[in-house]
Amino acid sequence: MTQDQLVELVKRSLYEVAPDLEAEPLDPKRSFNEQFEFDSMDFLKFITGLHQATGLALPEKDYPHLVSLELAVAYLSEKLPS
Amino acid sequence: MSEASQFWDGARRELAELPGGHGLNIAHVAVDQHVLQGNGQRIAIRWIGSGGSRSDISYQDLSWSASRFANALKALGIGAGDRVFSLLGRVPELHIAALGTWKLRAVFCPLFSAFGPEPVKARMSIAKPVVIVTTSRLFVRKIQPILADLPFLKHVILTDGGAGGLDFNALLAAASPSFEIEPTSPEELAILHFTSGTTGRPKGAMHVHAAAIAHRATAIHALDLKPEDIYWCTADPGWVTGTSYGIIAPLAVGCTLILDEEEFDAERWYSTLEKHRVNVWYTAPTAIRMLIRAGDELPKRFNLSALRFIASVGEPLHPEAVVWGQQVLGRPIHDNWWQTETGGIMIANTADMKIKPGSMGLALPGIEAAIVRRKDDAVEVIAENDAEGELALRPGWPSMFRGYLNEDERYKKCFAGGWYLTGDMATKDTDGYFWFVGRADDVIKSAGHLIGPFEVESALLAHPAVAEAAAIGVPDPVAGEVVKAYVSLRPGHAADEALMKELMAHARKKLGPAVAPRQIAISEDLPRTRSGKIMRRLLKARELGLPEGDTSTLEGAT
């Protein structure tokens, strides 16, 4: 997948959980919960969405690598076959 | 004199009165008395900011800062009885604002920072605060949009300064660190905590300065808390646990509390327990379930030897979690039970008794609890063991709520036959242990927080496409229950994906993620009574696939 496709995939998973954020500016570097009303239950749903979209296992220990757009894209591009 | 009142008299005598016999004030009990006793240099708060920054605040510094805040409020024309709200995360400004408010004999009310503008507005409209302390970000997102509806609000204080409010730090810097607390009656209103019922607006449970007697005594008995301990309560300050056991109890005991600004992260949490050598840890089932999901290998990498006592509150802790604590953390997890109205822990698995996994434990000293059955205006105590009924408490402990603000009728309905009726269904076994069964009403319990279905439904009904709405709790492996809403649509609206997304966005914007439904479904045949009222219980039974026969016995089905 290209970088752009990964960005789209992460955004789609985020907005699936929190469609209220779609209209807001998204800072790729800051964590979702820092910049939005996005709680830990939302985060778990977001992870489930990413898992369903990619088929990756996404173990709990990797959660810290998925907390922002930039981190999540970097993580997925490493794990997914290009 | 009854055993209970003897116990509370003793607990009261252990608490420092205001000098000169001028009554009882939470701020004096929590900070000033330690300074007077020569313990001002002890660390009261160890704050871990986001990004890992750390700062230690001594009892002396906390006392001075609280005095400065009290003086600043006074200079703004605020006085005894006025309401001061906070909308803050886990930051020391919360403790300073709360303690300063109590020094001034004003009334403190914390709001949950994950509330959207609607729950904030609903609560503020009831209590009419003159001040709110918040951050510039939360102000812009949650207060500014509703400011026109808050004519009573005179001042906004922003912890990080910024447009639209007064700068918290500048106010403190300009104020004197010396403040003499006026004589305070133990029965004076000190705290408001909002909670939710099935119907109507949120209820503001009123607590008085004497509540500190129970906060301290229960922290000693139920949490095994000692003055030399490092203590970590993970609860959010927007709910009662974050105030009773995140501010008042640990400070009244005189220990060092850990205040962690960031959200849950399993590895960071274990690291916090290790690094700060936490002795007593008070957390919640949702957090424990997330730790369990993070695996048994992770905690093995950390030295948790300082940890002496783990407790949990918010919803029943399932037996497997208690056993997991013993096996993986090397300590059992002690479940306990209380609610906003009780102000403090009532029933607990304590350090000196056998834990029964899955049980909430025994009634604490000074607390008389029973299982009762309501009979018209009277109640009947159920004597037989293991029989299901409503959990009831004999009124009289110091942290019991003294009313719902401006809602006398709803307050009176909580009492019958000399008992406070908790709204929780439970059983009691032959050893006196209590076991939670469920709520007697339709209130939803998600991640330990009560959510009123009416508040959720009202927000959905404000959307032009929605004709009817019903909110129920559905089981969730992490949060216990999550909110699911059913809506029926007005003619001319199609239940397509775009509309579903729009409804979800609408609900989240108005309510915030903590209160908004996590799922929304369309239903064109919501079950209702003959008078047309939607039956949430029946809806829930359908959702859970309960057999038809069971639904007829559900409360509220007629």
* Single pTM value for the model: 0.92
- pLDDT for the residue B377: 79
Burial of residue B256 (number of CB atoms within 10 Å: 0-12, 13-18, 19+): buried
Q: In this predicted model, what pLDDT tens digit does every residue of B358-372 receive, in sequence order?
A: 999 999 999 999 999
Average pLDDT over residues B444-465: 93
- pLDDT for the residue B509: 94
In the predicted structure, residue B200 carries a pLDDT above the cut 60: yes
Q: Which residue of A has its CA nearest to B264?
A: A40
CATH 3.40.50.12780 region(s) of chain B? 3-426
A-interface mutation test, from B265, B270, B510, B511, most A Cβ less than 10 A away: B265
- The single-letter code of the amino acid at B375 is K
Shortest distance between the Cα of A41 and any Cα of chain B, in A, equals 8
A41 Cβ under 8 Å from any chain B Cβ: yes
Domain residue spans of chain A:
3-79
Shortest distance between the Cα of A77 and any Cα of chain B, in A, equals 23
Contact (CB<8Å) B295/A37: no
- pLDDT for the residue B105: 98
| Percent of residues, chain B, with pLDDT higher than 70 | 98
Q: CB-based contacts of B250: which residues, under 8 Å, 6+ apart? A: B219, B225, B231, B233, B256, B257
Q: CB-based contacts of B513: which residues, under 8 Å, 6+ apart? A: A18, A37, A38, A39, A41, A42, B114
In the predicted structure, residue B102 carries a pLDDT above the cut 70: yes
Give strand ranges (E) for B318-414.
333-337, 347-348, 362-363, 369-375, 378-381, 389-393
Would you mind telling me the total number of residues written for chain A in this entry?
82
- pLDDT for the residue B547: 63
Q: How far does Cα B431 stand from its chain's mean position?
A: 29
In the predicted structure, residue B22 carries a pLDDT above the cut 60: yes
> Count of CB atoms within 10 A of residue A3's CB?
11
Higher pLDDT, B45 or B447: B45
Contact (CB<8Å) B447/A41: yes
Q: CB-based contacts of B346: which residues, under 8 Å, 6+ apart? A: B337, B338, B363, B364, B367, B369, B393, B397
B14 Cβ under 8 Å from any chain A Cβ: no
Interface of B with A in 91-130 (CB under 8 A): 114, 116
Average pLDDT over residues B284-298: 93
The SS3 call for residue B148 is: helix
The answer to whether ipTM exceeds 0.85 is yes
CA–CA gap between residue B155 and residue B136 (Å, rounded):
13
Supply A64's token pair. 């810290």
- pLDDT for the residue B27: 98
Interface of A with B in 10-29 (CB under 8 A): 15, 18-20, 22
Domain spanning B446-551: CATH 3.20.20.70:
no
Average pLDDT over residues B11-33: 96
Give residue B101's pLDDT band: very low, low, confident or very high (50, 70, 90). Answer: very high
Q: Superfamily for A3-79?
A: ACP-like (1.10.1200.10)
Average pLDDT over residues B77-93: 97
Chain B residues lying within 8 Å of A61, measured CB to CB: 266-267, 294-295, 298
Distances (CA, A) of B460 to B111, B450, B488, B507: 22, 18, 10, 6
- pLDDT for the residue B51: 81
B264 Cβ under 8 Å from any chain A Cβ: yes
Give residue B550's pLDDT band: very low, low, confident or very high (50, 70, 90). Answer: very low
- pLDDT for the residue B551: 47
Identify the weakest region by mean pLDDT among A33-42, B10-19, B266-275, B384-393: A33-42
A71 neighbors A65 (Cβ within 8 angstroms): yes
In the predicted structure, residue A56 carries a pLDDT above the cut 70: yes
- pLDDT for the residue B390: 97
Interface of B with A in 444-473 (CB under 8 A): 447
CA–CA gap between residue B71 and residue B40 (Å, rounded):
20
DSSP assigned state of B25: -
Give residue B376's pLDDT band: very low, low, confident or very high (50, 70, 90). Answer: confident
Contact (CB<8Å) B513/A42: yes
B405 neighbors B206 (Cβ within 8 angstroms): yes
Contact (CB<8Å) A41/B116: no
CA–CA gap between residue B84 and residue B94 (Å, rounded):
11
Measured between CB atoms, which of A15, A22, A33 is closest to B263? A33
Shortest distance between the Cα of B286 and any Cα of chain A, in A, equals 10
Q: CB-based contacts of B408: which residues, under 8 Å, 6+ apart? A: none
In this complex, how many residue pairs, one in chain A and one in chain B, have their CB atoms less than 8 Å apart?
56
- pLDDT for the residue B327: 95
Chain B residues lying within 8 Å of A44, measured CB to CB: 290, 478
Q: In this predicted model, what pLDDT tens digit does every residue of B489-503 receive, in sequence order?
A: 999 999 999 999 999
- pLDDT for the residue B180: 97
- pLDDT for the residue B187: 98
Handedness of CA B14, B19, B21, B25 (dihedral sign): negative
Average pLDDT over residues B128-142: 96
Mean pLDDT of chain B: 94
Give residue B552's pLDDT band: very low, low, confident or very high (50, 70, 90). Answer: very low
A33 Cβ under 8 Å from any chain B Cβ: yes
| Percent of residues, chain B, with pLDDT higher than 90 | 87
Shortest distance between the Cα of A14 and any Cα of chain B, in A, equals 12
Distances (CA, A) of B51 to B135, B260, B279: 18, 11, 24
Instruction: For B3-426, give the CATH class.
Output: alpha beta
Give residue B2's pLDDT band: very low, low, confident or very high (50, 70, 90). Answer: confident
Contact (CB<8Å) A19/B502: yes
Measured between CB atoms, which of A33, A38, A60 is closest to B266? A60
A55 Cβ under 8 Å from any chain B Cβ: no
Give residue B131's pLDDT band: very low, low, confident or very high (50, 70, 90). Answer: very high
Distances (CA, A) of B129 to B81, B124, B139, B153, B168: 10, 6, 15, 6, 17
Higher pLDDT, B537 or B429: B429
In the predicted structure, residue B301 carries a pLDDT above the cut 50: yes
Give residue A82's pLDDT band: very low, low, confident or very high (50, 70, 90). Answer: low
A-interface mutation test, from B269, B504, B510, most A Cβ less than 10 A away: B504
B-interface mutation test, from A27, A38, A40, most B Cβ less than 10 A away: A40
B241 neighbors B217 (Cβ within 8 angstroms): no
A39 Cβ under 8 Å from any chain B Cβ: yes
